[in-house]
Structure 1
Amino acid sequence: MTQTIVVLTEEALTHPDLRNLQTLQGEEPAEVVVLIPEDRNESVLGEFFRHLSLLEVGEAFRTFSSDDRRHDEVAARTALEQSLHLLTREGFEARGRTTAGDPVDALVQEAADSGAVQAVVITRPHAMADTFHTDWATKAQDKLGIAVLHLYSGSGFIGDS
């Protein structure tokens, strides 16, 4: 019997992300459903401070630009294609879609529709959201009523959700 793992990520999956999913999969075959938001709906202020903390002053002020919506949709589709290609190349059964609206609601709905046994959120660290437990994994865990694994993209580090 194939188990379903729903993955909500803000960018294309990487090889380290794949290793983490292989560990979760265990001996049972798994279908991975990848969801990538077209609009990450991030806190503009949180992103502003994240860029400033990394001394990316120009990028910090670009977070206030409102003309990036089309770029976000294209980037989401590209990230989805790359993720699905990587997953299938490594032997996973994979499907996915980009989402509009609240990404956590999309994760909850997909988990219910697919009968997922696991939900995983893979993001970059977001200092404000992670600190104040307003990150996607915490919100999804509250809505699903099951543990949601929060991994940091490209690493084996687990978020504090």
Structure 2
Amino acid sequence: MYDVVLLVEQELTEPDAQRVVELHQDMPEPVKYHVLVPCHNAEAGVEASISALGTADLYGPGLTEQRADLAEAQKAIDSEATDCTGRSIQRLRDLGQQAEGGISHDRPIDALTATVDKVGGREVIILTRPHIVAEFFHLDWTNSARRHLGVPVLHLLEQDEK
């Protein structure tokens, strides 16, 4: 089995799924795709924003009162990410491919590294929108993955569904 880990920023479109599958159409062994969708941590995001603004002493205590609202927001974020993952997996399966996946609240590169290790990934494909500044400074997922993983890493830009 040739395991490919896909780190996707958002749901795979049909053209993106087709492009990914076409990359492996001549493989001599079966291919299995492992879709990984990073999921934003609402509470950590709010806390980081408050800290970055230097207003933790003003708003930090109020955050405790907002835990229920943040938990509800997190459920909605997780639900959407899970649905996105499911639809992405289904698009690959509709093309006759083996696919599985999940969401992660870890840093994307940490989650990617763990997934590659867990499934014995032999290749990584990262699908994102263009991130010109991050790419220029080599802070994007692709450059980070290339520094941390010992497998080929391909970066594809997401295509609009037409």
Greater helix fraction, Structure 1 or Structure 2: 2
TM-superposed CA distance for 1:6, in Å, is 0.2
Question: 1:137-156 maps to which residues of 2 (within 5 A)?
Answer: 137-154=142-159
Amino acid at match of 1:8: L
Report how many residues are paired: 132
Q: Which structure has the bigger radius of gyration?
A: 2
Distance 1:4 1:147 in 2: 12
Aligned to 2:4: 5
Moved over 6 A (4+): none
Q: Does 1:19 align with 2:24?
A: no
- SS of the residue corresponding to residue 5 of structure 1 reads strand
TM-score, normalised to structure 2, is: 0.73
Q: What SS does structure 2 have at the residue aligned with 1:74? A: helix
Deviation string 1:113-137 (CA, Å, 9 cap, x unpaired) is 2111110110111122112111111
What aligned pairs does 1:9-48 form with structure 2 within 5 A after superposition? 9-28=8-27, 29-39=30-40
Q: Judge conservation of contact 1:15–1:154 (CA < 8 Å) in 2.
A: no
Report the counterpart of residue 80 of structure 1 in structure 2. Answer: 85
C-alpha contact (below 8 Å) 1:10/1:40 kept by paired residues: no
**Overall identity of the aligned pairs, in %:** 30
SS at match of 1:4: strand
**Matched position secondary structure for 1:39:** coil
Structure 1 residues without counterparts, runs of 5 or longer: 42-66, 156-161
> Relative to 1, partners in 2 of residues 1:128 and 1:86: Cα closer, same or farther, differing over 3 Å?
same
Contact 1:4–1:115 (Cα < 8 Å) also in 2: yes
Structure 1, residues 87-122: CA drift from partner, whole Å, max 9, x if none?
111111000000011111111111112111110110
Alpha-carbon distance, 1:69 to partner:
4.3
Secondary structure of the structure 2 residue equivalent to 1:116: coil
Amino acid at match of 2:102: R
